[in-house]
Structure 1
Amino acid sequence: MEKWAQLILDFLDEIVQKPTVLIGNSVGSLACVIAASESSRSLVRGLVLLNCAGGMNNKAVVDDWRIKLLLPLLLLVDFLLRQRGIASAIFERVRKRDNLRNILLSVYGNKESVDEELVEIIMEPTNDAGALDAFVSIVTGPPGPNPVQLMPRISLPVLLLWGDQDPFTPLDGPVGKYFSSLPSELTNVSLFVLEGVGHCPHDDRPDLVHEKLLPWLAQLPAS
Protein backbone atom coordinates (compact mmCIF):
# COMPACT_ATOMS: atom_id res chain seq x y z
CA MET A 1 0.00 0.00 0.00
CA GLU A 2 2.77 2.42 0.89
CA LYS A 3 4.44 1.86 -2.48
CA TRP A 4 1.21 2.66 -4.32
CA ALA A 5 0.83 5.84 -2.27
CA GLN A 6 4.38 6.86 -3.11
CA LEU A 7 3.72 6.26 -6.80
CA ILE A 8 0.75 8.64 -6.56
CA LEU A 9 2.89 11.32 -4.93
CA ASP A 10 5.69 10.84 -7.45
CA PHE A 11 3.20 11.20 -10.31
CA LEU A 12 1.78 14.39 -8.83
CA ASP A 13 5.25 15.79 -8.24
CA GLU A 14 6.80 14.90 -11.58
CA ILE A 15 3.86 14.98 -14.00
CA VAL A 16 0.89 16.95 -12.66
CA GLN A 17 2.99 19.52 -10.80
CA LYS A 18 0.09 21.26 -9.09
CA PRO A 19 -2.23 20.55 -6.15
CA THR A 20 -4.69 17.86 -7.17
CA VAL A 21 -7.86 16.20 -5.92
CA LEU A 22 -7.33 12.47 -5.49
CA ILE A 23 -10.27 10.15 -6.13
CA GLY A 24 -10.06 6.48 -5.25
CA ASN A 25 -12.23 3.42 -4.74
CA SER A 26 -11.69 0.62 -2.21
CA VAL A 27 -7.94 0.02 -1.75
CA GLY A 28 -7.42 2.87 -4.23
CA SER A 29 -9.11 5.14 -1.69
CA LEU A 30 -6.79 3.87 1.00
CA ALA A 31 -3.77 4.57 -1.21
CA CYS A 32 -5.06 8.13 -1.63
CA VAL A 33 -5.48 8.50 2.14
CA ILE A 34 -1.92 7.31 2.71
CA ALA A 35 -0.61 9.67 0.03
CA ALA A 36 -2.48 12.65 1.47
CA SER A 37 -1.31 11.88 5.00
CA GLU A 38 2.31 11.68 3.87
CA SER A 39 2.36 14.62 1.47
CA SER A 40 4.32 17.53 2.91
CA ARG A 41 4.49 19.59 -0.28
CA SER A 42 0.86 20.59 -0.87
CA LEU A 43 0.51 18.11 -3.71
CA VAL A 44 -3.02 17.12 -2.66
CA ARG A 45 -5.88 19.63 -2.34
CA GLY A 46 -8.74 17.26 -1.63
CA LEU A 47 -9.81 13.63 -1.31
CA VAL A 48 -12.80 11.76 -2.67
CA LEU A 49 -13.11 8.29 -1.16
CA LEU A 50 -15.56 5.79 -2.62
CA ASN A 51 -16.21 2.89 -0.24
CA CYS A 52 -12.73 3.14 1.24
CA ALA A 53 -11.09 -0.12 2.27
CA GLY A 54 -9.71 -0.67 5.74
CA GLY A 55 -6.65 -2.40 4.34
CA MET A 56 -5.24 -4.40 1.46
CA ASN A 57 -6.99 -7.49 2.81
CA ASN A 58 -9.14 -8.71 5.70
CA LYS A 59 -6.20 -8.75 8.12
CA ALA A 60 -6.87 -5.05 8.63
CA VAL A 61 -10.34 -5.68 10.04
CA VAL A 62 -9.97 -7.27 13.47
CA ASP A 63 -13.17 -6.23 15.25
CA ASP A 64 -15.87 -7.43 12.85
CA TRP A 65 -17.75 -10.55 13.97
CA ARG A 66 -17.96 -11.66 10.34
CA ILE A 67 -14.19 -11.66 10.00
CA LYS A 68 -13.74 -13.35 13.39
CA LEU A 69 -16.14 -16.08 12.30
CA LEU A 70 -14.19 -16.61 9.10
CA LEU A 71 -10.74 -16.28 10.67
CA PRO A 72 -9.90 -20.02 10.70
CA LEU A 73 -10.85 -20.23 7.03
CA LEU A 74 -8.82 -17.11 6.19
CA LEU A 75 -5.76 -18.54 7.94
CA LEU A 76 -6.19 -21.79 6.02
CA VAL A 77 -6.42 -19.88 2.74
CA ASP A 78 -3.22 -18.00 3.62
CA PHE A 79 -1.45 -21.30 4.28
CA LEU A 80 -2.70 -22.89 1.07
CA LEU A 81 -1.75 -19.89 -1.04
CA ARG A 82 1.83 -20.20 0.14
CA GLN A 83 1.97 -23.59 -1.59
CA ARG A 84 2.75 -22.72 -5.21
CA GLY A 85 0.82 -25.55 -6.82
CA ILE A 86 -2.28 -25.00 -4.71
CA ALA A 87 -2.08 -21.23 -5.21
CA SER A 88 -1.95 -21.70 -8.97
CA ALA A 89 -4.99 -23.99 -8.93
CA ILE A 90 -6.98 -21.55 -6.78
CA PHE A 91 -5.98 -18.62 -8.97
CA GLU A 92 -6.99 -20.44 -12.14
CA ARG A 93 -10.38 -21.19 -10.64
CA VAL A 94 -10.96 -17.65 -9.40
CA ARG A 95 -10.01 -16.08 -12.73
CA LYS A 96 -12.52 -18.06 -14.78
CA ARG A 97 -14.95 -15.81 -16.59
CA ASP A 98 -18.07 -17.17 -14.88
CA ASN A 99 -16.52 -16.87 -11.43
CA LEU A 100 -15.43 -13.29 -12.05
CA ARG A 101 -18.89 -12.42 -13.34
CA ASN A 102 -20.51 -13.89 -10.23
CA ILE A 103 -18.12 -11.98 -7.96
CA LEU A 104 -18.88 -8.75 -9.79
CA LEU A 105 -22.62 -9.39 -9.59
CA SER A 106 -22.26 -9.78 -5.83
CA VAL A 107 -20.57 -6.40 -5.40
CA TYR A 108 -22.57 -4.31 -7.87
CA GLY A 109 -25.97 -3.00 -6.87
CA ASN A 110 -26.85 -2.22 -10.47
CA LYS A 111 -26.53 -5.64 -12.11
CA GLU A 112 -26.83 -4.12 -15.58
CA SER A 113 -23.40 -2.57 -15.07
CA VAL A 114 -21.86 -6.06 -15.03
CA ASP A 115 -21.49 -6.58 -18.76
CA GLU A 116 -19.00 -8.52 -20.87
CA GLU A 117 -16.77 -5.48 -21.25
CA LEU A 118 -16.39 -5.17 -17.48
CA VAL A 119 -15.67 -8.88 -17.08
CA GLU A 120 -13.03 -8.63 -19.80
CA ILE A 121 -11.42 -5.60 -18.14
CA ILE A 122 -11.10 -7.55 -14.89
CA MET A 123 -9.89 -10.71 -16.63
CA GLU A 124 -7.20 -9.13 -18.79
CA PRO A 125 -4.62 -8.45 -16.03
CA THR A 126 -4.89 -12.06 -14.86
CA ASN A 127 -3.06 -13.06 -18.05
CA ASP A 128 -0.03 -10.91 -17.24
CA ALA A 129 3.25 -12.40 -16.11
CA GLY A 130 3.38 -12.15 -12.35
CA ALA A 131 -0.41 -12.11 -11.95
CA LEU A 132 -0.33 -15.16 -9.69
CA ASP A 133 2.36 -13.63 -7.47
CA ALA A 134 0.37 -10.40 -7.23
CA PHE A 135 -2.77 -12.33 -6.29
CA VAL A 136 -0.97 -14.24 -3.54
CA SER A 137 0.75 -11.10 -2.24
CA ILE A 138 -2.52 -9.16 -2.02
CA VAL A 139 -4.35 -11.92 -0.16
CA THR A 140 -1.57 -13.06 2.18
CA GLY A 141 0.53 -9.92 2.62
CA PRO A 142 0.35 -7.16 5.22
CA PRO A 143 -2.81 -5.03 5.08
CA GLY A 144 -0.97 -1.71 5.10
CA PRO A 145 -1.62 1.39 7.21
CA ASN A 146 -4.96 1.69 8.95
CA PRO A 147 -7.14 4.64 7.86
CA VAL A 148 -8.32 5.08 11.45
CA GLN A 149 -4.84 6.31 12.32
CA LEU A 150 -4.43 8.34 9.12
CA MET A 151 -7.69 10.27 8.73
CA PRO A 152 -7.25 12.53 11.80
CA ARG A 153 -3.99 13.79 10.27
CA ILE A 154 -5.75 15.03 7.14
CA SER A 155 -7.13 18.57 7.20
CA LEU A 156 -7.92 18.68 3.47
CA PRO A 157 -11.53 18.66 2.25
CA VAL A 158 -12.73 15.05 2.09
CA LEU A 159 -15.83 13.72 0.33
CA LEU A 160 -17.00 10.24 1.27
CA LEU A 161 -19.35 8.43 -1.11
CA TRP A 162 -20.57 5.06 0.13
CA GLY A 163 -22.75 2.48 -1.60
CA ASP A 164 -25.16 1.04 0.94
CA GLN A 165 -25.18 -2.40 -0.72
CA ASP A 166 -21.43 -2.96 -0.38
CA PRO A 167 -20.66 -6.52 0.82
CA PHE A 168 -16.91 -5.84 1.21
CA THR A 169 -16.98 -2.69 3.36
CA PRO A 170 -20.59 -2.54 4.56
CA LEU A 171 -21.84 0.52 6.37
CA ASP A 172 -22.58 -1.59 9.45
CA GLY A 173 -19.06 -3.04 9.52
CA PRO A 174 -16.20 -1.44 11.47
CA VAL A 175 -14.75 0.38 8.45
CA GLY A 176 -18.13 1.69 7.33
CA LYS A 177 -19.07 2.73 10.86
CA TYR A 178 -15.78 4.55 11.31
CA PHE A 179 -16.08 6.56 8.12
CA SER A 180 -19.78 7.22 8.78
CA SER A 181 -18.83 8.80 12.10
CA LEU A 182 -16.25 11.18 10.64
CA PRO A 183 -18.54 14.04 9.52
CA SER A 184 -19.66 14.54 13.12
CA GLU A 185 -16.06 14.59 14.31
CA LEU A 186 -14.11 16.31 11.53
CA THR A 187 -15.43 19.48 9.90
CA ASN A 188 -13.51 18.84 6.68
CA VAL A 189 -15.36 15.58 5.95
CA SER A 190 -18.68 15.19 4.10
CA LEU A 191 -20.53 11.89 3.60
CA PHE A 192 -23.23 10.82 1.19
CA VAL A 193 -24.71 7.33 1.24
CA LEU A 194 -25.75 6.10 -2.21
CA GLU A 195 -28.81 3.87 -2.06
CA GLY A 196 -28.84 0.64 -4.01
CA VAL A 197 -25.15 0.96 -4.86
CA GLY A 198 -22.43 -1.59 -4.21
CA HIS A 199 -18.67 -1.50 -3.71
CA CYS A 200 -17.76 0.38 -6.92
CA PRO A 201 -20.08 3.41 -7.00
CA HIS A 202 -18.31 5.20 -9.86
CA ASP A 203 -19.03 2.30 -12.21
CA ASP A 204 -22.14 0.94 -10.52
CA ARG A 205 -24.12 4.19 -10.61
CA PRO A 206 -21.94 6.97 -12.06
CA ASP A 207 -24.94 9.29 -12.25
CA LEU A 208 -25.37 9.22 -8.48
CA VAL A 209 -21.64 9.74 -7.95
CA HIS A 210 -21.52 12.73 -10.31
CA GLU A 211 -24.58 14.23 -8.63
CA LYS A 212 -22.59 14.55 -5.39
CA LEU A 213 -19.07 14.84 -6.75
CA LEU A 214 -19.39 17.70 -9.23
CA PRO A 215 -20.95 20.26 -6.83
CA TRP A 216 -18.39 19.32 -4.19
CA LEU A 217 -15.52 19.86 -6.62
CA ALA A 218 -17.00 23.18 -7.73
CA GLN A 219 -17.01 24.59 -4.20
CA LEU A 220 -13.41 23.70 -3.40
CA PRO A 221 -11.10 26.68 -2.81
CA ALA A 222 -9.00 27.55 -5.84
CA SER A 223 -5.55 25.99 -5.74
Structure 2
Amino acid sequence: MRVNYLARGQGPPVLLVHGFGASVAHWRRNIGVLSESYTVYAIDLVGFGASDKPPGFSYTMETWAELILDFLKEVVKRPTVLVGNSVGSLACVIAASESNRDVVRGLVLLNCAGGMNNKAIVDDWRIKLVLPLLWLIDFLLNQRPIASALFNRDILLSVYGNKDAVDDELVEIIRGSADTEGALDAFVSTVTGPPGPSPIALMPRLADVPVLVLWGDRDPPSPPSTGPWGSSSPSCRRSSPT
Protein backbone atom coordinates (compact mmCIF):
# COMPACT_ATOMS: atom_id res chain seq x y z
CA MET A 1 0.00 0.00 0.00
CA ARG A 2 1.13 3.53 -0.74
CA VAL A 3 1.77 5.70 2.31
CA ASN A 4 2.00 9.48 2.12
CA TYR A 5 4.56 11.25 4.27
CA LEU A 6 6.50 14.48 4.65
CA ALA A 7 10.17 14.95 5.64
CA ARG A 8 11.69 18.31 6.55
CA GLY A 9 14.65 19.72 8.47
CA GLN A 10 17.92 18.41 9.89
CA GLY A 11 18.75 16.88 13.26
CA PRO A 12 17.48 14.04 15.45
CA PRO A 13 14.37 12.44 13.90
CA VAL A 14 10.84 13.04 15.12
CA LEU A 15 7.79 11.27 13.64
CA LEU A 16 4.38 12.98 13.89
CA VAL A 17 1.34 10.67 13.84
CA HIS A 18 -2.07 12.30 13.45
CA GLY A 19 -5.38 11.38 15.07
CA PHE A 20 -8.78 10.28 13.77
CA GLY A 21 -9.96 12.01 10.61
CA ALA A 22 -6.70 13.94 10.31
CA SER A 23 -3.60 13.89 8.09
CA VAL A 24 -0.09 15.24 7.66
CA ALA A 25 -1.53 18.70 7.01
CA HIS A 26 -2.97 18.93 10.53
CA TRP A 27 0.60 19.44 11.81
CA ARG A 28 0.99 22.55 9.64
CA ARG A 29 1.64 24.82 12.62
CA ASN A 30 4.15 22.46 14.24
CA ILE A 31 6.32 21.20 11.38
CA GLY A 32 8.04 24.51 10.60
CA VAL A 33 9.07 25.16 14.21
CA LEU A 34 10.18 21.58 14.92
CA SER A 35 12.16 21.32 11.68
CA GLU A 36 14.45 24.14 12.87
CA SER A 37 16.06 21.65 15.27
CA TYR A 38 14.93 18.19 14.13
CA THR A 39 14.39 16.07 11.06
CA VAL A 40 10.60 16.04 11.11
CA TYR A 41 8.62 13.25 9.50
CA ALA A 42 4.83 13.29 9.37
CA ILE A 43 2.86 10.32 8.09
CA ASP A 44 -0.68 9.74 6.83
CA LEU A 45 -1.93 6.53 8.40
CA VAL A 46 -3.47 4.09 5.95
CA GLY A 47 -7.12 5.08 5.54
CA PHE A 48 -6.50 8.81 6.00
CA GLY A 49 -5.09 11.77 4.12
CA ALA A 50 -3.34 10.89 0.87
CA SER A 51 -2.42 7.33 1.91
CA ASP A 52 -4.19 4.34 0.38
CA LYS A 53 -7.68 3.39 1.53
CA PRO A 54 -8.04 -0.23 0.33
CA PRO A 55 -11.62 -1.44 -0.35
CA GLY A 56 -12.89 -3.74 2.39
CA PHE A 57 -9.82 -3.19 4.57
CA SER A 58 -10.32 -3.75 8.31
CA TYR A 59 -8.53 -0.99 10.19
CA THR A 60 -7.01 -1.83 13.57
CA MET A 61 -4.67 -0.14 16.02
CA GLU A 62 -2.20 -2.97 15.55
CA THR A 63 -2.09 -2.40 11.78
CA TRP A 64 -1.26 1.28 12.24
CA ALA A 65 1.43 0.40 14.81
CA GLU A 66 2.96 -2.03 12.32
CA LEU A 67 2.92 0.72 9.68
CA ILE A 68 4.81 3.04 12.04
CA LEU A 69 7.48 0.41 12.72
CA ASP A 70 7.86 -0.35 9.02
CA PHE A 71 8.23 3.37 8.31
CA LEU A 72 10.94 3.74 10.95
CA LYS A 73 12.79 0.73 9.54
CA GLU A 74 12.52 1.56 5.84
CA VAL A 75 12.55 5.38 5.78
CA VAL A 76 13.91 6.94 8.98
CA LYS A 77 16.49 4.27 9.87
CA ARG A 78 17.47 5.98 13.13
CA PRO A 79 16.18 5.93 16.72
CA THR A 80 13.17 8.24 16.69
CA VAL A 81 10.90 10.15 19.04
CA LEU A 82 7.27 9.41 18.22
CA VAL A 83 4.74 12.23 18.69
CA GLY A 84 1.13 11.12 18.42
CA ASN A 85 -2.27 12.74 18.79
CA SER A 86 -5.41 10.87 19.95
CA VAL A 87 -5.52 7.44 18.24
CA GLY A 88 -2.15 8.33 16.73
CA SER A 89 -0.77 8.38 20.27
CA LEU A 90 -2.11 4.91 20.97
CA ALA A 91 -0.60 3.63 17.71
CA CYS A 92 2.74 5.05 18.88
CA VAL A 93 2.41 3.35 22.27
CA ILE A 94 1.72 -0.01 20.61
CA ALA A 95 4.64 0.46 18.22
CA ALA A 96 7.01 1.37 21.06
CA SER A 97 5.85 -1.61 23.13
CA GLU A 98 6.82 -3.92 20.27
CA SER A 99 10.24 -2.39 19.63
CA ASN A 100 13.27 -1.17 21.63
CA ARG A 101 15.30 1.99 22.29
CA ASP A 102 17.25 1.39 19.06
CA VAL A 103 13.99 2.08 17.20
CA VAL A 104 11.87 4.31 19.46
CA ARG A 105 13.88 6.53 21.78
CA GLY A 106 10.97 8.47 23.26
CA LEU A 107 7.21 9.13 23.18
CA VAL A 108 5.15 12.31 23.30
CA LEU A 109 1.46 11.50 23.69
CA LEU A 110 -1.07 14.27 23.06
CA ASN A 111 -4.58 13.50 24.31
CA CYS A 112 -3.84 9.78 24.02
CA ALA A 113 -6.91 7.74 23.10
CA GLY A 114 -7.91 4.78 25.25
CA GLY A 115 -8.75 2.83 22.09
CA MET A 116 -9.64 3.18 18.44
CA ASN A 117 -13.13 4.15 19.60
CA ASN A 118 -14.96 4.79 22.88
CA LYS A 119 -15.87 1.14 23.33
CA ALA A 120 -12.38 0.69 24.75
CA ILE A 121 -13.27 2.55 27.95
CA VAL A 122 -15.74 -0.06 29.20
CA ASP A 123 -14.50 0.32 32.78
CA ASP A 124 -15.87 3.87 32.86
CA TRP A 125 -19.42 3.70 34.29
CA ARG A 126 -20.55 6.37 31.82
CA ILE A 127 -19.47 4.21 28.89
CA LYS A 128 -21.17 1.14 30.40
CA LEU A 129 -24.46 3.04 30.53
CA VAL A 130 -24.33 3.93 26.85
CA LEU A 131 -22.78 0.68 25.57
CA PRO A 132 -26.09 -0.54 24.06
CA LEU A 133 -26.34 2.80 22.28
CA LEU A 134 -22.82 2.34 20.90
CA TRP A 135 -23.84 -1.06 19.52
CA LEU A 136 -26.84 0.57 17.86
CA ILE A 137 -24.59 3.26 16.38
CA ASP A 138 -22.32 0.51 15.01
CA PHE A 139 -25.30 -1.04 13.25
CA LEU A 140 -26.49 2.29 11.86
CA LEU A 141 -23.04 3.30 10.64
CA ASN A 142 -22.74 0.08 8.72
CA GLN A 143 -25.77 1.19 6.70
CA ARG A 144 -24.02 3.21 3.99
CA PRO A 145 -26.72 5.88 3.39
CA ILE A 146 -26.77 6.72 7.10
CA ALA A 147 -22.99 6.80 7.35
CA SER A 148 -22.75 9.03 4.28
CA ALA A 149 -25.15 11.55 5.83
CA LEU A 150 -23.10 11.69 9.03
CA PHE A 151 -19.67 11.87 7.44
CA ASN A 152 -19.22 15.56 6.78
CA ARG A 153 -16.86 18.34 7.76
CA ASP A 154 -19.23 19.77 10.38
CA ILE A 155 -18.92 16.57 12.42
CA LEU A 156 -15.12 16.70 12.27
CA LEU A 157 -14.95 20.42 13.01
CA SER A 158 -16.98 19.93 16.19
CA VAL A 159 -13.98 18.31 17.88
CA TYR A 160 -12.02 21.56 18.00
CA GLY A 161 -12.18 23.22 21.40
CA ASN A 162 -10.41 26.32 20.05
CA LYS A 163 -12.78 27.57 17.36
CA ASP A 164 -10.18 30.12 16.21
CA ALA A 165 -8.16 27.20 14.86
CA VAL A 166 -10.96 26.37 12.42
CA ASP A 167 -9.81 28.56 9.54
CA ASP A 168 -10.43 28.18 5.80
CA GLU A 169 -7.24 26.17 5.35
CA LEU A 170 -8.33 23.63 7.95
CA VAL A 171 -11.77 23.35 6.37
CA GLU A 172 -10.16 22.56 3.01
CA ILE A 173 -7.82 20.00 4.62
CA ILE A 174 -10.75 18.16 6.19
CA ARG A 175 -12.94 18.44 3.09
CA GLY A 176 -10.18 17.14 0.83
CA SER A 177 -9.52 14.08 3.00
CA ALA A 178 -13.22 13.33 3.46
CA ASP A 179 -13.95 13.46 -0.27
CA THR A 180 -11.31 10.91 -1.32
CA GLU A 181 -12.37 7.44 -2.42
CA GLY A 182 -12.47 5.01 0.49
CA ALA A 183 -12.56 7.71 3.20
CA LEU A 184 -16.11 6.82 4.25
CA ASP A 185 -15.27 3.13 4.56
CA ALA A 186 -12.20 3.99 6.67
CA PHE A 187 -14.36 6.15 8.93
CA VAL A 188 -16.95 3.41 9.44
CA SER A 189 -14.32 0.71 10.01
CA THR A 190 -12.55 2.86 12.59
CA VAL A 191 -15.59 3.75 14.70
CA THR A 192 -17.12 0.27 14.54
CA GLY A 193 -14.00 -1.90 14.73
CA PRO A 194 -12.16 -3.45 17.68
CA PRO A 195 -10.83 -0.76 20.05
CA GLY A 196 -7.41 -2.35 20.43
CA PRO A 197 -5.21 -2.61 23.53
CA SER A 198 -5.31 -0.14 26.41
CA PRO A 199 -2.32 2.23 26.61
CA ILE A 200 -2.23 1.75 30.38
CA ALA A 201 -1.84 -2.02 29.96
CA LEU A 202 1.11 -1.45 27.62
CA MET A 203 2.98 0.98 29.88
CA PRO A 204 4.94 -1.70 31.79
CA ARG A 205 6.65 -2.60 28.51
CA LEU A 206 7.92 0.97 28.19
CA ALA A 207 9.86 1.21 31.45
CA ASP A 208 13.04 2.24 29.63
CA VAL A 209 11.38 4.68 27.21
CA PRO A 210 10.97 8.37 28.15
CA VAL A 211 7.26 9.20 27.94
CA LEU A 212 5.62 12.62 28.08
CA VAL A 213 1.81 12.63 28.32
CA LEU A 214 -0.04 15.90 27.77
CA TRP A 215 -3.76 16.63 27.75
CA GLY A 216 -5.76 19.64 26.63
CA ASP A 217 -8.45 20.59 29.13
CA ARG A 218 -10.81 21.60 26.30
CA ASP A 219 -10.66 18.40 24.26
CA PRO A 220 -14.37 17.84 23.37
CA PRO A 221 -14.37 14.15 22.30
CA SER A 222 -12.07 12.96 25.07
CA PRO A 223 -11.89 15.35 28.03
CA PRO A 224 -9.20 14.64 30.66
CA SER A 225 -11.68 13.18 33.16
CA THR A 226 -12.62 10.35 30.75
CA GLY A 227 -9.15 9.71 29.36
CA PRO A 228 -7.26 6.44 29.88
CA TRP A 229 -4.97 8.04 32.48
CA GLY A 230 -7.79 8.60 34.94
CA SER A 231 -7.04 12.15 35.99
CA SER A 232 -8.75 15.48 35.48
CA SER A 233 -5.51 17.42 35.38
CA PRO A 234 -4.58 18.75 31.93
CA SER A 235 -0.86 18.72 32.68
CA CYS A 236 1.78 16.02 32.24
CA ARG A 237 0.57 12.62 33.49
CA ARG A 238 3.68 10.45 33.40
CA SER A 239 7.33 10.80 32.60
CA SER A 240 9.84 7.99 32.69
CA PRO A 241 13.61 8.51 33.04
CA THR A 242 15.15 10.67 30.29
Task: Give the TM bin, normalised by the shorter chain.
Answer: 0.7 to 0.9
Q: How far, CA to CA, are the matches of 2:220 and 2:128 in structure 1?
A: 16
Note the C-alpha offset of 1:89.
2.1
> Residues 104-159 of structure 1, C-alpha deviation per residue, up to 9 Å, x if partnerless?
2x432321101122122122222222222212211111011111110121021111
Who is 1:17 aligned against?
Answer: 77
- Name stretches of at least 5 consecutive residues in structure 2 with no aligned partner: 1-60
- 1:124/1:187 CA distance change after superposition, 3 Å: closer
User: Between Structure 1 and Structure 2, which shows a larger proportion of helix residues?
Assistant: 1
The one-letter amino acid paired with 1:93 is A
Q: Does 1:51 align with 2:111?
A: yes
Who is 1:159 aligned against?
Answer: 212
Structure 1 consecutive aligned stretches of length 4 or more whose deviation exceeds 3 Å: none
- Name stretches of at least 5 consecutive residues in structure 1 with no aligned partner: 190-219
> Residues 5-33 of structure 1, C-alpha deviation per residue, up to 9 Å, x if partnerless?
11111111111111010000000000000
Aligned residues: 181
Q: How do 1:125-136 and structure 2 match up within 5 A?
A: 125-136=177-188
SS of match in other structure, 1:63 = coil
Q: How do 1:21-170 and structure 2 match up within 5 A?
A: 21-40=81-100, 42-82=102-142, 86=143, 88-97=144-153, 99-100=154-155, 103-104=156-157, 106-154=158-206, 155-170=208-223
The one-letter amino acid paired with 2:170 is L
Quote the RMSD (CA, aligned, Å). 2.5
Which one has a bigger Cα radius of gyration?
1
Q: How far, CA to CA, are the matches of 2:229 and 2:146 in structure 1?
A: 29
> TM-score, normalising length from structure 2?
0.67
Q: How far, CA to CA, are the matches of 2:161 and 2:140 in structure 1?
A: 32
> TM-score, normalising length from structure 1?
0.72
Whether the aligned pair in 1 keeps the contact of 2:84 and 2:108 (CA below 8 Å) is yes
- 1:179/1:17 CA distance change after superposition, 3 Å: farther
**RCO greater where, 1 or 2, for CA within 8 Å and sep 6 or more?**
1
Note the C-alpha offset of 1:175.
1.3
Whether the aligned pair in 2 keeps the contact of 1:107 and 1:166 (CA below 8 Å) is yes
Q: Between the two proteins, what is the percent identity of the paired residues?
A: 64
Who is 1:171 aligned against?
Answer: 224
- 1:112/1:178 CA distance change after superposition, 3 Å: closer
Q: How far, CA to CA, are the matches of 2:218 and 2:101 in structure 1?
A: 37
